[in-house]
Amino acid sequence: MADQYSSSILLLLLITIIIFMNVDAKCSFQGIFNFGDSNSDTGGFFAAFPPPLPLPFGITYFHKPTGRLSDGRLQIDFLAQALQLPFLSPYLDSIGSDYSHGVNFATSASPVLRPNGSDPIRGVTGVSPFYLDVQVKQMEEFKRRVTERYEKTLNNTTDLPGPDIFGKALYTIYIGHNDMVHRFAEVGLGGIRPYELRISSGITKAIKKLYRLGGRTFFVQNLNPMGCYAAVLVLVPHDPSDVDATGCLATLNQAIEDFNSLLKDALSKTRRELQDANIIYVDTHSIISQLFRRPKSYGFRYGIKACCGYGGGPYNFDARIFCAESAVIDGRNVTAGACCDPCDYVSWSGIHFTEAANKVIVEAILSETLFDPHFPLKKYCDVQPIG
């Protein structure tokens, strides 16, 4: 009888331990390390090159500018929330940053390949010096210093992770847009195809370096249909016959689709080389294309037209004045302000997405339908609904 009672107590104790273990282990990923451009920059660019963005950036969620080129949260923010992780602090921001659950190395206007010049220039007219290899080197330095700090203090700090995070984090890569659009603007479709191999190779080389640092799970998003960006349609010279039925630049979108196919193949090859790694091609291009082409099917009124801009018309984008800027145009002082209903728009500024669009994109990611090969994210994490 006593043995039976002891066994019951032991069983109850084991069940209690398992329950508590499951509560604590919400996600197999202890953090996120992100690499990219303005699509996932949470403030790095403007930490490096102040002054910061003014309102109306950030009006929807944060109610103040945060260095994000949107009215609110980005895709990386929604992904972190779904995995029950905090928003990622930019590596370049030294004030108030918390790196205990990962780091954001992305900066706006960053390319994959090293730019010819190093001057940061806004928008689609220039690129950042923090190209992908620099971001990876920053990651190398971050790991070195975390390991060094841990050895000295036994991780007696709350704003840095332990060294085991590097093998237990999700590595997200979302970059290449600046390489493609700049090259296309310079040489057109015929000259861009030989360039695509260099871009995809730059991404796979970065994955291999991150693998050597301990990374084992990689989400690599393909490139957006930039031929549907209002800024590209205004700034990039093109023949009117090159605009498709949706109003997008057909040759640029075709070049991007060609690149995405090349990237998919390159990731497949890398997957065979690194057989104990999860290297996932994330086809966000498909859902974003649908948002531009059928915005009303997803609850939006406008696809290509920018919420924050100047000039009205089909684009609400003027190359002389970007979102939140003021200037004298045609003898008048004008400001490129925001619409009153960002949730009705896919495009925030003619280049970047609204928070509402980013949410739809991440919901598609979380459905696991965009992964190649299939990746059972919900088996790794207790994925939470995003709101």
Helix axis angle, 177-212 to 132-153, nearest 10°: 30
Q: Please report, for the domain that includes residue 52, its CATH number.
A: 3.40.50.1110
The confidence score (pLDDT) of residue 151 equals 83
Q: What is the pLDDT of residue 157?
A: 66
352-368: pLDDT as tens digits: 999 999 999 999 999 99
In a domain, residue 312? The reply is no
Confidence at residue 26, expressed as pLDDT on a 0 to 100 scale: 83
* 322 assigned to some structural domain: no
Type of residue numbered 146: V
Structural domains in the chain (count): 1
Q: What is the pLDDT of residue 156?
A: 65
Q: What is the DSSP letter of 353?
A: B
207 occurs within a structural domain: yes
**Domain-embedded: residue 370:** yes
Which is nearest to 225 in space by CA: 115, 126, 304, 315? 304
Positions in the chain whose pLDDT score sits under 70? 1-25, 117-126, 154-157
> What gap in Å lies between CA 14 and CA 277, rounded to an integer?
33
Q: How far apart are CA 120 and CA 108, in angstroms?
A: 9
Backbone angles phi and psi of 302, in degrees to 5? -125, 140
Residue among 146, 78, 57, 47 at smallest CA distance from 365: 78
Comparing CA positions, the residue from 245, 246, 236, 254 lying closest to residue 190 is: 254
Amino acid at 266: A
Contact assessment for residue 181 and residue 236, using Cβ atoms and an 8 Å cutoff: yes
Distance CA 113, CA 198 (A): 8
Establish if 7 belongs to a structural domain.
no
Alpha helices in 44-113 (DSSP H): 44-48, 75-82
Q: Are strands 31-36 and 169-174 parallel, antiparallel or unpaired?
A: parallel
- Strand segments, DSSP code E, in the chain are 31-36, 102-104, 169-174, 217-221, 278-282, 302-306, 326-329, 332-335, 345-347, 371-372
In a domain, 22, yes or no: no
Domain of 116 in residue numbering reads as 28-299+353-378
pTM of the model: 0.91
Please check whether residue 122 lies inside any domain of the structure. Answer: yes
Q: Give the pLDDT score at 152.
A: 82
Q: What is the pLDDT of residue 321?
A: 96
